[in-house]
C-alpha cells in the first residue's frame, strides 16, 4: 500500500456559482490579481518596480551604517501602508468567517410573495454568508459559549437582499433602544476589559435578571446551541418578523429559517473549553476544509407564514423578537436550499469588508413593525459608515450584481465614475429616471396605521416566561442536563452574590427544580414556589437531539485512526477506505509524523499528525486497528491513553479491533466494553469492538446498507454524533 496523501490537504476545483442572477464570482474576478503568477515583479503602489525591498535607503558603506533617509519613498510607503492596515472591528460579531455559494428555491412561494428570489425555481442566486460569534474580538476563539451570527447576502437580479440572522431564533431584547445596554453588559466589563468572549460574568447576568424579556433567549444561549460543533451544523434564523407581499397585493408575516442537512449538533462543554486553547480557529478551519474537500454545506430554506388577518390570533405578539412561532402552530414550509461551495480568495476584502443591512430587501419582501427590526434597520447602515465609510456599497464584495444608477455622489474613496452632466432629479434629460412597478420598482406596502405616539408596546410584549418554559420543557433529558451545567458554570463565574442569588430566583420563573439545583450548585436560597408556575407544555423543533427531518450521516466527520509501527494493515486499510467511501475524513494519528510501518512491513503510512500536535477534541470519533507492536507502543504512551479516555469522556464513538480491544479496555476500564469471542462485534455505549478483524474486509460495500458488521455499528454511532447514554449513566466522568 502506498503512502497516503493527507486528505484534508487535497484541493478540489472551485465550484462555479450558477450563471443566473449575475455571477458574483465573475464580478469579483475583475478585481483579482494573482500574487502567485510567475513573472510578477514587486512594485510600489504607484507602479514603479522595486529592486531592494529589504533595506531602507541610508548613507552607509562597508565600515559604517550611516543616517537613515526619510527621502526613501519605497520605505515610507511600506510603513504608511502598514500603519493603516486596521479598520475598526465590528462592534458586535467581530469574529467570523464566510464563504460563497448559491441559493435556489425548489418550490415557488408565489402564493405569498412576488420576489423572484423566492418564486423563480429556475434561478440560482449567488450568496455570501458570514458566520460569527457575537461577543469576542476579532482574534478571539471560535468555540466559546455564545450566539452565532448567520448573515446571508443574496445577490439577486433585483438588488441585494441581506438576511442577517443568528443560530438562535429569539433575541435578548424587544426594543432596539436596549441594544447598547445588552451589548455593553455582555462584552468585557468596562473597568478591566475582562472577560474576553464570555457571558460568564457579573454584568451579563445582572442584565439578564434586570430584563425579564431576556429569559427565553438566555435559556437558548445556555443550551447546546451556544456551542455548535460546526457552522455547518447550526440552524439559521432571521429572528425578526418580516413581511411578504404577493402579486395580488396581499401581505403575510414571515420568519425565515435555514436548517442544516448535516443535522444540528454541538460540542460538549469540556471539549469547547479545551478547543478554545488547542485550536482557536476550529470553526473557521472546519468550514474552510469542508468546502476545499468538496463537502459543500447545505441548508434547507424555510418560511413560517402568518396571514395578515391572523396577526392577533396568538397568545404572543408575532412582532416580538423574544418569541418563536412554535412549529405546531405555524409549520415551517421548506421551499429552497442554500449551498456554500467556494472559499473566499482573501479574507480582508471579502469576509472582513462584507457589510450587511437588515434594511436591504427586494421587491416582494418588506418589514413589519417589529420594534427590534425597525431599530436594526437604522443601525446597520450607520455602523458601516464608521467601519468602512460612506462608499461601502461600492466595495466589490458588497456591490450588487444588477445595475446601480442614481444621483448619490462623492464621499471618501468614491470609486465609480458616473458620466453625464446632471447629478440631481428631476432634470431636463430624464435619462435616468424612477422605475415603474412593472419595471420592478420597490413600492412600500400601503399599511393602515393608527395609534397614539407613546413609548409603549402591545400588552402581549409584557409576558416573558411562557416560552422560556416551553423551551425548557421541550429539551431532552441530556439537553436539560447541559443547560443546568452551563448555568452552573456561568453563575459560578459571577462573584457578586446579588447576581447569582437573584438569578437563582429568576430560574424559578422557568422551573422550580432547575432553580433548586442551581441554588445548591452556585449558592442562594432555593425558591419554594414560583410566581410563574411551569405550564408543562412542549413544542416540536426546539430540541436539537430530537430535531426531525434529517438523516444521521457520517459525511464530513473527522475520524482519527490511531497507529504506531506494527499496526494491522488489513484493519487499517479497510477502515480508511470505508471512512473515505462514507465521505468522512480519515485522519491518521501516530506517535510521530514520519513514516509508520505496518506489521510484516507490507505497507506504511505517513500520519497527518502526531499525538501531541493534534488532540482528540479535534475529531468526532476514533478508530484503533490492532497489531501487537502498535498496541504495545500505544498502551505505554500516556498521550495515546489520554486520547482514548478523553474521546470517551466527550461521548465520542470509539472503534477498536484485534489487540486494540485490550488497549481500549485498559484506557477506559469499564466492564461494559469487554468482548470475548473472536468475531462477535460488540457495541457498548458507543465503543464498538471486535477481536477478529477479518470481518472488516467486506465492510466497504456494506456501509450504506446497515447490518451487524463492525463498520456499520461504528458508523451508526458516529452518525448519531455522540453517545448520550454514556453521559446519562454517568460513565463519561469516570475516566
Ligand atoms: Fe445585529 C451585526 C445579527 C440585533 C446592530 N448582527 C450583526 C451580525 C449579525 C447580527 C449576524 C454580523 C453581520 C456580519 O457578519 O457582518 N443582530 C443580529 C440579530 C439580531 C440583532 C439576529 C436580533 C434579531 N443588531 C441587533 C440590534 C442592533 C444590531 C437590535 C441595533 C439596534 N448588529 C448591529 C450592528 C452590527 C451588527 C452594530 C455590527 C457590525 C454590523 O452591524 O455590520 O449594527
At 210-238, the pLDDT tens digits run 999 999 999 999 999 999 999 999 999 99
Summarised one tens digit per residue, pLDDT across range 323-334 is 999 999 999 999
Report pLDDT for 182.
Answer: 98
What atom of ligand 1 comes closest to residue 131's alpha carbon?
15
Whether residue 375 has its Cβ less than 6 Å from ligand 1: yes
Q: Give the residue, by CA position, lying nearest to ligand 1 atom 25.
A: 376
Summarised one tens digit per residue, pLDDT across range 55-111 is 999 999 999 999 999 999 999 999 999 999 999 999 999 999 999 999 999 999 999
Q: In testing the pocket of ligand 1, which one of 242, 373, 380, 386 has its CB within 8 Å of the most ligand atoms? A: 380
Residue 532 — very low, low, confident or very high, per pLDDT cuts 50/70/90?
Answer: very high
Report pLDDT for 693.
Answer: 61
Report pLDDT for 674.
Answer: 53
DSSP letter, residue 583: T
Summarised one tens digit per residue, pLDDT across range 589-601 is 999 999 999 999 9
Ligand 1 centre to CA of 123 (Å) is 29
* Prediction pTM value: 0.95
Whether residue 615 has its Cβ less than 6 Å from ligand 1: no
Q: Which residues are paired to 689 by β-bridges?
A: 656, 682
Parts of the chain belonging to CATH 1.20.1370.20: 474-534
Using alpha carbons, select from 163, 145, 304, 282 the residue that is nearest to residue 220. Answer: 145
Using alpha carbons, select from 316, 218, 278 the residue that is nearest to residue 518. Answer: 218
- What distance in Å separates the CA atoms of residue 137 and residue 187, rounded to the nearest whole number? 9
Report pLDDT for 309.
Answer: 97
Whether residue 165 has its Cβ less than 6 Å from ligand 1: yes
Q: What is the average pLDDT across 439-445?
A: 96
Report pLDDT for 735.
Answer: 60
Parts of the chain belonging to CATH 3.40.50.880: 558-734
CATH 2.130.10.10 fits 474-534, yes or no: no
- What distance in Å separates the CA atoms of residue 465 and residue 507, rounded to the nearest whole number? 10
pLDDT at 4 over 50: no
What atom of ligand 1 comes closest to residue 321's alpha carbon?
24
Residue 680 — very low, low, confident or very high, per pLDDT cuts 50/70/90?
Answer: confident
Report pLDDT for 22.
Answer: 56
Ligand 1 centre to CA of 40 (Å) is 41
* Helix (H), strand (E) at residue 624: strand 621-624
pLDDT at 2 over 90: no
Q: Give the residue, by CA position, lying nearest to ligand 1 atom 28.
A: 376
Using alpha carbons, select from 51, 97, 432, 468 the residue that is nearest to residue 291. Answer: 97
Using alpha carbons, select from 155, 159, 168 the residue that is nearest to residue 129. Answer: 155
Whether residue 130 has its Cβ less than 6 Å from ligand 1: yes
| Residues 327-357 as b or e (16 or more Cβ within 10 Å = b) | beebebebbbbbbbbbbbbeeebbbbbbbbb
Q: Give the residue, by CA position, lying nearest to ligand 1 atom 9.
A: 149
Q: Give the residue, by CA position, lying nearest to ligand 1 atom 29.
A: 376
Ligand 1 centre to CA of 151 (Å) is 9
Report pLDDT for 694.
Answer: 57
Ligand 1 centre to CA of 620 (Å) is 32
pLDDT at 132 over 50: yes
Q: Give the residue, by CA position, lying nearest to ligand 1 atom 27.
A: 376
Q: Give the residue, by CA position, lying nearest to ligand 1 atom 23.
A: 171
Out of 202-211, 341-350, 709-718, which region has the weakest mean confidence (pLDDT)? 709-718
CA-CA-CA-CA torsion sign (269, 270, 271, 275) = positive
Summarised one tens digit per residue, pLDDT across range 619-672 is 999 999 999 999 999 999 999 999 999 999 999 999 999 999 999 999 997 755
What atom of ligand 1 comes closest to residue 239's alpha carbon?
24
Residue 478 makes CB contacts below 8 A (sequence gap 6+) with 545, 724, 727, 728
Summarised one tens digit per residue, pLDDT across range 498-519 is 999 999 999 999 999 999 999 9
Q: In testing the pocket of ligand 1, which one of 88, 89, 90 has its CB within 8 Å of the most ligand atoms? A: 90
Whether residue 356 has its Cβ less than 6 Å from ligand 1: yes
Whether residue 21 has its Cβ less than 6 Å from ligand 1: no
Ligand 1 centre to CA of 418 (Å) is 32
Whether residue 253 has its Cβ less than 6 Å from ligand 1: no
Whether residue 570 has its Cβ less than 6 Å from ligand 1: no
Report pLDDT for 546.
Answer: 77
pLDDT at 563 over 50: yes
Region of residue 415 (left: phi > 0; alpha: psi -120 to 50; beta: else): alpha
For residue 366, give the 3-state DSSP assignment: strand
Whether residue 240 has its Cβ less than 6 Å from ligand 1: yes
Report pLDDT for 514.
Answer: 98
Catalytic residues: 93, 166
Q: Give the residue, by CA position, lying nearest to ligand 1 atom 31.
A: 376
Residue 306 — very low, low, confident or very high, per pLDDT cuts 50/70/90?
Answer: very high
Using alpha carbons, select from 236, 228, 311, 304 the residue that is nearest to residue 269. Answer: 228
Q: Say how many residues make up the chain.
A: 735
Ligand 1 centre to CA of 423 (Å) is 33
What's the longest Cα–Cα distance across the chain?
93
Ligand 1 centre to CA of 410 (Å) is 27
Ligand 1 centre to CA of 77 (Å) is 36
pLDDT at 206 over 70: yes
- What distance in Å separates the CA atoms of residue 475 and residue 6, rounded to the nearest whole number? 39
Q: Give the residue, by CA position, lying nearest to ligand 1 atom 34.
A: 380
What atom of ligand 1 comes closest to residue 378's alpha carbon?
32
Mean pLDDT value across the chain: 93
Ligand 1 centre to CA of 582 (Å) is 38
DSSP letter, residue 348: I
Q: Give the residue, by CA position, lying nearest to ligand 1 atom 42.
A: 380
Neighbours of 140 (CB within 10 A): 17
Whether residue 372 has its Cβ less than 6 Å from ligand 1: yes
Q: Where would I find the H helices in 105-228?
A: 116-119, 179-186, 202-210, 215-222
Q: Give the residue, by CA position, lying nearest to ligand 1 atom 11.
A: 149
The C-alpha torsion from 433 through 439 and 440 to 445, rounded to 10°, is 80
Parts of the chain belonging to CATH 2.40.180.10: 96-394
What atom of ligand 1 comes closest to residue 132's alpha carbon?
15
Q: Where would I find the H helices in 49-127?
A: 73-83, 116-119
Whether residue 331 has its Cβ less than 6 Å from ligand 1: no
- What distance in Å separates the CA atoms of residue 542 and residue 169, rounded to the nearest whole number? 10
What atom of ligand 1 comes closest to residue 166's alpha carbon?
22
pLDDT at 18 over 50: no
- What distance in Å separates the CA atoms of residue 432 and residue 410, rounded to the nearest whole number? 18
- Reported CATH class of domain 558-734: alpha beta
Contact 460, 320 (CB under 8 A): yes
Report pLDDT for 691.
Answer: 87
Report pLDDT for 269.
Answer: 97
Q: What percent of the chain has pLDDT over 70?
A: 93
Ligand 1 centre to CA of 97 (Å) is 15
Neighbours of 316 (CB within 10 A): 17
Whether residue 149 has its Cβ less than 6 Å from ligand 1: yes
Burial class (CB in 10 A: 0-12, 13-18, 19+), 725: middle
ipTM: 0.99
Q: Is 380 annotated as a binding residue?
A: yes
Contact 90, 149 (CB under 8 A): no
Residue 240 C-alpha cell reads as: 425578526
Whether residue 379 has its Cβ less than 6 Å from ligand 1: yes
Residue whose C-alpha cell reads 413593525 in the numeric block: 369
CA-CA-CA-CA torsion sign (317, 319, 323, 326) = positive
More confident residue, 695 or 636: 636
What atom of ligand 1 comes closest to residue 90's alpha carbon?
40
Candidate CATH numbers 2.40.180.10, 3.90.1300.10, 1.10.1040.10, 3.50.50.60; the one for domain 96-394:
2.40.180.10
Using alpha carbons, select from 543, 465, 511, 516 the residue that is nearest to residue 224. Answer: 543
Amino acid at each position: 500500500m502506498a503512502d497516503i496523501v493527507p486528505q484534508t490537504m487535497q484541493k478540489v476545483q472551485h465550484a462555479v456559482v450558477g450563471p443566473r442572477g449575475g455571477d458574483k464570482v465573475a464580478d469579483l474576478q475583475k478585481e483579482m490579481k494573482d500574487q502567485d503568477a510567475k513573472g510578477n515583479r514587486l512594485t510600489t503602489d504607484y507602479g514603479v518596480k522595486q529592486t531592494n525591498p529589504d533595506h531602507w535607503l541610508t548613507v552607509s558603506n562597508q565600515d559604517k551604517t550611516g543616517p537613515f533617509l526619510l527621502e526613501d519613498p519605497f520605505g515610507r510607503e511600506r510603513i504608511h501602508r502598514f500603519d493603516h492596515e486596521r479598520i475598526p472591528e465590528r462592534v458586535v460579531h467581530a469574529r467570523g468567517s464566510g464563504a460563497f455559494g448559491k441559493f435556489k428555491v425548489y418550490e415557488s412561494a408565489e402564493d405569498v410573495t412576488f420576489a423572484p428570489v423566492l418564486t423563480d425555481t429556475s434561478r440560482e442566486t449567488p450568496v455570501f454568508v458570514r458566520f460569527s460569534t457575537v461577543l469576542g474580538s476579532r482574534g478571539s476563539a471560535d468555540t466559546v459559549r455564545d450566539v452565532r451570527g448567520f448573515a446571508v447576502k443574496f445577490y439577486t437580479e433585483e438588488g441585494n437582499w441581506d438576511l442577517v440572522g443568528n443560530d438562535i431564533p429569539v433575541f435578548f431584547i424587544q426594543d432596539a433602544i436596549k441594544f447598547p445596554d445588552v451589548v455593553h453588559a455582555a462584552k468585557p466589563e468596562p473597568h478591566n476589559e475582562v472577560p474576553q468572549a464570555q457571558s460568564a460574568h457579573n454584568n451579563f447576568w445582572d442584565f439578564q435578571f434586570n430584563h425579564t424579556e431576556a429569559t427565553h433567549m438566555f435559556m437558548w444561549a445556555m443550551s447546546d446551541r451556544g456551542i455548535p460543533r460546526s457552522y455547518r451544523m447550526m440552524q439559521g434564523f432571521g429572528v425578526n418578523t418580516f413581511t411578504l407581499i404577493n402579486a395580488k397585493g396581499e401581505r403575510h408575516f414571515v420568519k425565515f429559517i435555514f436548517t442544516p442537512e448535516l443535522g444540528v449538533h454541538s460540542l460538549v462543554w469540556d471539549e469547547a473549553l479545551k478547543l478554545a486553547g488547542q485550536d482557536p480557529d476550529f470553526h473557521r478551519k472546519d468550514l474552510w476544509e469542508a468546502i476545499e474537500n468538496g463537502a459543500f454545506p447545505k441548508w434547507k430554506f424555510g418560511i413560517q407564514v402568518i396571514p395578515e388577518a391572523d396577526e392577533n390570533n396568538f397568545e404572543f405578539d408575532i412582532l416580538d423578537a423574544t418569541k418563536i412561532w412554535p412549529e405546531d402552530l405555524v409549520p415551517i414550509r421548506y421551499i429552497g436550499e442554500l449551498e456554500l461551495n467556494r472559499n473566499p480568495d482573501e479574507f480582508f476584502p471579502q469576509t472582513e469588508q462584507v457589510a450587511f443591512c437588515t434594511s436591504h430587501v427586494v421587491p416582494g419582501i418588506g418589514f413589519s413593525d417589529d420594534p427590534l427590526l425597525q431599530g436594526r434597520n437604522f443601525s446597520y447602515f450607520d455602523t458601516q459608515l464608521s467601519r468602512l465609510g460612506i462608499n461601502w456599497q461600492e466595495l466589490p464584495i458588497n456591490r450588487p450584481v444588477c445595475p446601480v444608477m442614481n444621483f448619490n455622489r462623492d464621499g471618501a474613496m468614491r470609486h465609480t465614475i458616473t458620466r453625464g452632466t446632471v447629478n440631481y432629479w428631476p432634470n431636463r434629460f430624464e435619462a435616468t429616471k424612477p422605475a415603474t412597478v412593472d419595471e420592478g420598482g420597490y413600492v412600500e406596502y400601503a399599511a393602515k396605521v393608527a395609534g397614539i405616539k407613546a413609548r409603549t408596546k402591545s400588552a402581549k410584549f409584557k409576558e416573558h416566561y411562557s416560552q422560556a418554559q416551553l423551551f425548557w420543557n421541550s429539551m431532552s433529558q441530556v439537553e436539560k442536563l447541559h443547560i443546568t451545567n452551563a448555568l452552573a458554570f456561568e453563575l459560578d463565574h459571577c462573584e457578586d452574590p446579588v447576581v447569582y442569588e437573584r438569578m437563582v430566583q429568576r430560574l424559578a420563573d422557568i422551573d422550580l427544580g432547575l432553580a433548586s439545583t442551581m441554588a445548591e450548585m452556585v449558592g442562594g436560597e432555593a425558591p419554594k414556589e414560583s410566581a410563574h408556575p411551569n405550564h408543562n407544555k412542549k413544542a416540536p423543533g426546539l430540541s436539537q437531539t430530537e430535531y426531525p427531518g434529517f438523516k444521521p450521516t457520517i459525511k464530513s466527520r473527522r475520524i482519527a485512526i490511531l497507529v504506531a509501527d506494527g499496526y494491522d494493515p488489513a484493519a487499517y486499510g479497510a477502515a480508511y477506505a470505508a471512512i473515505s467511501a462514507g465521505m468522512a475524513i480519515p485522519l491518521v494519528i501516530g506517535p510521530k509524523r514520519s513514516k509508520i510501518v505496518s506489521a510484516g512491513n507490507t505497507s506504511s503510512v505517513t500520519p497527518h499528525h502526531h499525538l501531541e500536535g493534534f488532540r482528540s477534541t479535534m475529531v468526532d470519533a476514533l478508530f484503533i486497528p490492532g497489531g501487537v507492536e502498535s498496541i504495545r507502543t500505544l498502551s505505554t504512551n500516556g498521550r495515546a491513553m489520554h486520547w482514548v479516555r478523553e474521546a470517551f469522556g466527550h461521548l465520542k464513538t470509539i472503534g477498536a479491533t484485534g489487540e486494540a480491544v485490550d488497549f481500549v479496555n485498559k484506557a477506559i476500564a469499564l466492564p461494559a466494553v469487554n468482548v470475548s469471542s473472536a468475531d462477535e462485534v460488540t457495541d457498548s455505549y458507543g465503543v464498538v469492538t471486535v477481536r477478529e478483524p477479518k470481518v472488516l474486509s467486506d465492510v466497504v460495500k456494506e456501509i450504506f446498507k446497515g447490518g451487524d458488521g463492525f463498520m456499520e455499528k461504528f458508523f451508526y454511532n458516529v452518525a448519531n454524533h455522540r453517545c448520550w447514554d454514556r453521559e446519562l449513566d454517568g460513565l463519561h466522568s469516570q475516566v
